[in-house]
Amino acid sequence: MAFEFTDANFETAALEGGVSVVDFWAEWCGPCRMVTPIIDELAGEYEGKATVGKVNVDNNAETSRKYGVRSIPTIIVLKDGEIFHKHVGTITKAALAAKIDEALAN
């Protein structure tokens, strides 16, 4: 199951070292619902290597604003607190896994 990032825990959970994958989403967003199973699967596959989770944009406006999220889904791969990759729209599991692997290797 994917980690639930919030405005309150984002700094410690996503920005303090390592690789984090953040899916900005909302319940009413159809494409977001298509990405959810991919995020959940990757959360399990990368457990212990990367933090994979979701930010509900309706409930966490501060974090969404900070990262300039205007369209959802937006998926950001963070490495050591910096944006490594940003993708807007749906994405395949293989493409997202490749970006995570790239971030882990660098």
Going by C-beta distance under 8 Å and a sequence separation of 6 or more, which residues neighbour residue 50?
Answer: 18, 19, 20, 21, 100, 103, 104
Does 49 have pLDDT greater than 90?
yes
Provide the CATH number for the domain formed by 3-105 in this structure.
3.40.30.10
Single out the catalytic residue among 13, 26, 29, 88. 29
Give mean pLDDT, residues 11-29: 93
Contact 73, 89 (CB under 8 A): yes
Single out the catalytic residue among 22, 32, 35, 55. 32
Q: What are the boundaries of each domain within the chain?
A: 3-105
Residue 60 C-beta-side C-alpha neighbours within 13 Å? 24
pTM score of the predicted model: 0.95
Cα 9 to Cα 23: distance, rounded to the nearest angstrom: 15
Active site residue 18: no
Active site residue 71: no
